[in-house]
């Protein structure tokens, strides 16, 4: 029985209208919104600042829930939609959930303050991902948190971020970042064409050039290294030039839409997720659901949460030879690889849409 049906037996729910504000639709959160709406009896509306951001190529299949889109496309991630006040007046929610601190979300915060409505803050951020914030940004968060009734995030690292602002952990509700695990698991037994896989934006923060260098060194030490690269971005030419220069066999199908991803993940043996700074890393969910062990670093929100060292992958310092030595060690030990692969599939199962929805629903119930 799914969470949305099960919770009706657990709570005496009084119809409460909830509005959640976020930046743009994301394919990995559509099912979560559906389940939250189902539990709330349809009294749930998601307000998007924009339909798309210019650097995102997602094709989103919308879920069955009420939604509003304030603008067609945003040229950057700093959303400023003052017209949100008009829509909040019309919706008149009892509970407002803001995902972030863009001007649009701060308008919603002020609306909830003056209308004496309950406010919930939902952020994917971590201490690492928000370490660059200015004093002004941190002051804004402290001011908003003073009037916030509950706090939501996808990881223990998010909980630690809230605690750094003095928030009681009892006010934190976890909503898991999730993918459709069942879609990916079918490929876990397929023969692997590629040794290493990278999936993400081709930007400096995602460290695709580090991945290429790892592939070069693995080939030098292991004798071969065939790689699969999914994504797009400004570093594409640099990546492909280096792969050709190093004579590394690779496949580069470009940006792949969500429904096609499982067949690509199924072809790869080991997933690498280096990053300068990442609040989570949904690509790691996809990799583990496919049975791929993952190597990442402490800069990723998935580290020591979804990726557990020596259980389903490794959390390593961003040192090329440390990564290369571990990769070669895994490739030379079938028993270890199989153990990591089985554990990857097992561990990712709790990162489900049901548990994602449960975090929001529990937060809403806590403020009523």
Give the chain's mean pLDDT: 92
Q: Who's near 324: CB < 8 A, 6+ residues apart? A: 214, 217, 218, 221
User: How does pLDDT run across 304-320, given as a tens digit for each residue?
Assistant: 999 999 999 999 999 99
**In the chain, % of residues over pLDDT 70:** 93
Q: Write phi, then psi, for 145 (nearest 5 degrees).
A: -60, -25
Is pLDDT at 1 greater than 50 in this prediction?
A: no
User: What is the per-residue pLDDT for 39?
Assistant: 92
Do 181-348 and 3-178+353-367 have the same topology in CATH? yes
The answer to whether 170 touches 142, Cβ cutoff 8 Å, is no
Q: For tokens 């002004």, what's the residue?
A: 136
Among 11-20, 130-139, 252-261, 350-359, the minimum mean pLDDT is found in: 11-20
Band of the pLDDT at 10, cuts 50, 70, 90? very low
Q: Where are the domains of the chain?
A: 3-178+353-367, 181-348
User: Would you give the distance in Å from CA 262 to the centre of its chain?
Assistant: 17
The answer to whether 340 touches 293, Cβ cutoff 8 Å, is yes
User: What is the per-residue pLDDT for 98?
Assistant: 98
Across residues 249-253, what is the average pLDDT? 96
User: What is the per-residue pLDDT for 189?
Assistant: 59
Among 58-62, 153-157, 284-288, the minimum mean pLDDT is found in: 58-62
User: What is the per-residue pLDDT for 198?
Assistant: 98
Across residues 20-42, what is the average pLDDT? 93
Q: Please give the class, per CATH, of domain 181-348.
A: alpha beta
Q: How many CB atoms lie within 10 A of CB 350?
A: 12
Band of the pLDDT at 9, cuts 50, 70, 90? very low
User: How does pLDDT run across 160-178, given as a tens digit for each residue?
Assistant: 999 999 999 999 999 999 9
Band of the pLDDT at 185, cuts 50, 70, 90? confident
Kindly report the CATH number that applies to the domain delimited by 3-178+353-367: 3.40.50.2000
Band of the pLDDT at 14, cuts 50, 70, 90? low
Burial class (CB in 10 A: 0-12, 13-18, 19+), 51: middle
Is pLDDT at 8 greater than 60 in this prediction?
A: no
Token readout for 94 is 């009892």
User: How does pLDDT run across 237-248, given as a tens digit for each residue?
Assistant: 999 999 999 999
> Which residue stretches of 46-186 are H helix?
84-91, 103-114, 135-146, 156-164, 181-185
Across residues 44-68, what is the average pLDDT? 86
Band of the pLDDT at 187, cuts 50, 70, 90? low
Count H helices and E strands in the chain, helices first. 14, 15
């Amino acid at each position: 029985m799914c969470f949305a049906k099960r919770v009706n037996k657990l709570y005496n729910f009084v119809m409460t209208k909830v509005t959640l504000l976020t930046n743009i639709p994301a394919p990995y959160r559509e099912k979560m919104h559906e389940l939250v709406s189902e539990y709330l009896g349809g009294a749930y509306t998601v307000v998007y600042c924009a339909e798309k951001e210019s650097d995102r190529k997602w094709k989103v299949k919308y879920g069955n829930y009420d939604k509003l889109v304030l603008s067609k496309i945003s040229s950057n991630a700093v959303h400023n939609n003052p017209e949100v006040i008009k829509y909040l007046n019309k919706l008149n929610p009892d509970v407002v959930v803001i995902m972030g601190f863009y001007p649009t979300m701060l308008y919603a915060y002020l609306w909830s303050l003056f209308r004496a409505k309950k406010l919930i803050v939902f952020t994917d951020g971590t201490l690492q991902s928000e370490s660059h914030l200015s004093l002004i940004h941190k002051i804004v968060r402290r001011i908003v948190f003073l009037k916030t009734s509950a706090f939501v995030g996808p990881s223990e690292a998010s909980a630690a971020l809230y605690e750094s602002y003095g928030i009681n952990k009892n006010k934190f509700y976890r909503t898991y970042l999730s993918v459709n695990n069942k879609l990916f698991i079918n490929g876990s037994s397929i023969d692997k064409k590629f040794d290493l896989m990278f999936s993400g934006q081709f930007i400096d923060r995602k460290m695709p050039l580090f991945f290429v260098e790892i592939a070069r060194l693995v080939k030098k030490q292991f004798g071969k290294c065939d790689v699969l690269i999914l994504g797009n971005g400004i570093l594409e030419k640099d990546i492909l030039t280096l792969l050709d220069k190093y004579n590394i066999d690779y496949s580069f199908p470009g940006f792949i839409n969500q429904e096609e991803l499982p067949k690509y993940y199924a072809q790869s043996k080991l997933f690498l997720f280096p990053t300068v700074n990442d609040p989570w890393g949904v690509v790691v969910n996809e990799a583990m659901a496919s049975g791929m062990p993952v190597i990442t670093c402490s800069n990723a929100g998935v580290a020591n949460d979804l990726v557990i060292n020596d259980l389903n992958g490794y959390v390593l310092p961003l040192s090329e030879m440390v990564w290369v030595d571990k990769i070669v060690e895994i490739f030379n030990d079938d028993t270890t690889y199989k153990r990591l692969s089985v554990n990857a599939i097992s561990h990712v199962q709790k990162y489900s849409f049901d548990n994602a929805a449960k975090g929001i629903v529990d937060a809403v119930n806590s403020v009523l």
